């Protein structure tokens, strides 16, 4: 079985990378999970996962003529398979985003859940590809009306390529925010449930500083609990790995950008 989720949002800094790794670790208690930093222009998953010094990254797989096997960019960390991406601007410019299709196709044959940490903006091929490739998106938002509106644009884009909504995660929620009211709006407009509200918390910041995913750094805190709740609500579907690999390989890359 395998299902691919793109963890997406309308803006940077909403907590996509934090959420990708936290959901990944929570899902890894039940599934074989592979996490990919598909935010190839603003990669930062490596810093959240203690992989700053990784020799081979997704960039090497996306650059033609670098003789690197997919497995060389896969690291066993925190109970997951993690594919980090490098941060060099030169490598990003050299990378061919279309090659992500084959990389994800190969990874899909040997895992249960693929989580694609996705870019925020929708302005280029490398930015939209994870959303086009995924089965469903998890939208990460702050519980504010402008943030909902950004998230809806991402959802609209995803739906236009047949990518459904698995659910919404509210992140960086402050005690004084009226989550109930915003959740009501979200319930009306998003094609999936509210998976969880993650509090704004020092633990999350400290985890990032320690180079560890939240669930490794503060496994029993309120933010980790909320991510467990979100993962429990994600009903992972039972896609056939080979079928999904074929679909990825033949995915049409949007040229309306």
For ligand ADP, the binding residues (CB under 6 A) are 9, 12-18, 44, 171-172, 198, 200-201, 204-205, 208, 223
User: Which span sits near Mg ion by CB under 5 A: 13-21, 28-36, 165-173, 234-242?
Assistant: 13-21
Sheet containing 136-141: give its strands across: 75-77, 80-83, 33-37, 113-117, 3-8, 136-141, 164-173, 194-199
Cα gap 126→176, rounded to integer Å: 37
198 binds, among ligand ADP, Mg ion, none (CB under 5 to 8 A by kind): ligand ADP
Cβ distance 141 to 170 under 8 Å? yes
Helix (H) or strand (E) holding 169: strand 164-173
- 175-178 LR contacts (CB < 8 Å, sep 24+): 175/199, 177/143, 177/144, 178/143
Tell me the closest approach of the beta carbon of residue 71 to ligand ADP, in angstroms.
25
Q: Roughly what angle, to the nearest 10 degrees, separates helices 202-210 and 222-233?
A: 90
211 binds, among ligand ADP, Mg ion, none (CB under 5 to 8 A by kind): none
The dihedral formed by the CA atoms of 149, 155, 156 and 157, expressed in degrees to the nearest 10: 120
Tell me whether residue 112 or residue 142 sits nearer to Mg ion (CB atom): 142
Tell me whether residue 15 or residue 192 sits nearer to Mg ion (CB atom): 15
163 binds Mg ion (CB under 5 A): no
Tell me whether residue 47 or residue 161 sits nearer to ligand ADP (CB atom): 47
126 binds Mg ion (CB under 5 A): no
Tell me whether residue 142 or residue 163 sits nearer to ligand ADP (CB atom): 142
Cβ distance 151 to 6 under 8 Å? no
Which residue bears the tokens 């992989």? 51
Tell me the closest approach of the beta carbon of residue 16 to Mg ion, in angstroms.
5
Cβ distance 63 to 109 under 8 Å? no
94 binds, among ligand ADP, Mg ion, none (CB under 5 to 8 A by kind): none
User: Which span sits near Mg ion by CB under 5 A: 11-19, 132-140, 220-228, 242-250?
Assistant: 11-19
Among 9, 14, 17, 57, binds Mg ion (CB under 5 A): 17
Q: Roughly what angle, to the nearest 10 degrees, separates helices 16-27 and 222-233?
A: 70
146 binds, among ligand ADP, Mg ion, none (CB under 5 to 8 A by kind): none
Tell me whether residue 34 or residue 40 sits nearer to Mg ion (CB atom): 40
User: Which span sits near Mg ion by CB under 5 A: 15-23, 61-69, 154-162, 180-188?
Assistant: 15-23
The gap from C-alpha 110 to its chain's centroid, in whole angstroms, comes to 18
118 binds, among ligand ADP, Mg ion, none (CB under 5 to 8 A by kind): none
44 binds Mg ion (CB under 5 A): yes
């Amino acid at each position: 079985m395998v299902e691919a989720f793109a963890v997406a949002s309308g803006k940077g800094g909403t907590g996509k990378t934090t959420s990708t790794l936290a959901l990944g670790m929570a899902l890894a208690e039940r599934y074989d999970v592979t996490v990919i930093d598909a935010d190839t222009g603003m990669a930062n998953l490596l810093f959240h996962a203690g992989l700053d010094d990784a020799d081979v990254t997704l960039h090497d797989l996306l650059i033609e003529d670098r003789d690197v096997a997919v497995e060389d960019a896969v690291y066993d960390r925190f109970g997951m398979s993690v594919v980090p991406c490098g941060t060099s601007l030169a490598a990003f410019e050299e990378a061919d985003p279309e090659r992500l299709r084959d990389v994800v196709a190969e990874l899909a044959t040997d895992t249960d859940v693929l989580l694609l940490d996705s870019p925020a903006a929708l302005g280029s091929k490398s930015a939209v590809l994870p959303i086009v490739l995924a089965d469903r998106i998890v939208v990460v938002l702050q519980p504010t009306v402008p943030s909902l509106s950004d998230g809806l644009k991402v959802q609209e884009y995803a739906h236009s390529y047949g990518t459904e909504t698995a659910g919404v995660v509210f992140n960086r929620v402050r005690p004084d925010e009226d989550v109930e009211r915003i959740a009501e709006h979200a319930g009306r407009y998003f094609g999936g449930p509210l998976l969880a509200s993650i509090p704004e918390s020092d633990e999350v910041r400290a985890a990032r500083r320690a180079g560890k995913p939240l669930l490794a750094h503060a496994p029993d805190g309120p933010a980790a609990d909320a991510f467990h709740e979100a993962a429990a609500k994600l009903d992972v579907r039972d896609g056939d790995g080979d079928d999904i690999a074929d679909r990825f390989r033949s995915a049409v890359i949007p040229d309306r950008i």
